[in-house]
Amino acid sequence: MATKAELLKTIAEEVTACRKCHLWKTRKNAVPGEGNPNALVMFVGEAPGYWEDVKGKPFVGAAGKFLESLLAIVGFLREDIFICNVLKCRPPGNRDPSPQEIQTCTPYLDRQIAVIKPKVIVTLGSHSSAYIFSKAGLEFKSITQTRGNFYDVAILGEKTMVFPTFHPAAALYSAKYKEQITDDFKLLKQKLAERGIA
């Protein structure tokens, strides 16, 4: 039977070769996601940005550096977690993902979640939060209403806890968001400790 690492590698290879939507024509590199195949905590962002597209890795630009400082609050290194995006290819000009792109691309994310079986899914921003909420059968209103709250749900038949917060990129342009996302990660640390996850 294939290991989690082997299954994730297979998904990554499919993502790299994917031409299911038009984004393959404008991307430099697909960004399947990376991290610990046995991660207890999975982080899901929106879509690759400029530097992610260049390097083929998630969260490597300024937002990625900020995310690493947030992970340090919880006591995590990047290699402790698994991190990926709803879309695996960069939308031109960093525009929002279209509903059709999300529908086409998310089977890859679903398979990654099914392989990893995370105890916690941290959603970064409104697009990833809306998608994960839809998988959990929850209504998503807005990231400002849902952020900083914990939701015990079942996704793909597995119990998990969903924790929505702002996308780190939003915090780079707003001192208010930066403060709020930092507070959210402190809450996350507390909750993970309570549950014996971190």
> What is the tens place of the pLDDT at every residue in 49-108?
999 999 999 999 899 999 999 999 999 999 999 999 999 999 999 899 999 999 999 999
Q: Binning pLDDT at 50, 70 and 90, where does residue 179 land?
A: very high
Strand partners for 165: 124
* pLDDT value at residue 94: 86
Strand partners for 160: 153
Q: Is 95 left (phi over 0), alpha (psi -120 to 50) or beta?
A: beta
* pLDDT value at residue 29: 98
For 106-149, the pLDDT digits (tens) are 999 999 999 999 999 999 999 999 999 999 999 999 999 999 99
Helix (H) or strand (E) holding 146: helix 143-146
Is residue 74 within 8 A of residue 192, CB to CB? The reply is: yes
Compute the distance between CA of residue 33 and CA of residue 86 in angstroms, rounded to an integer. Answer: 10
Confidence (pTM):
0.97
Q: Is the pLDDT of residue 198 over 80?
A: no
Q: Binning pLDDT at 50, 70 and 90, where does residue 159 land?
A: very high
Helix (H) or strand (E) holding 123: strand 120-124
Helix H, strand E, coil C: the string for 3-28 is CHHHHHHHHHHHHHHCCCCHHHHCCC
| Domains present along the chain, CATH in parentheses | 4-192 (3.40.470.10)
* pLDDT value at residue 184: 98
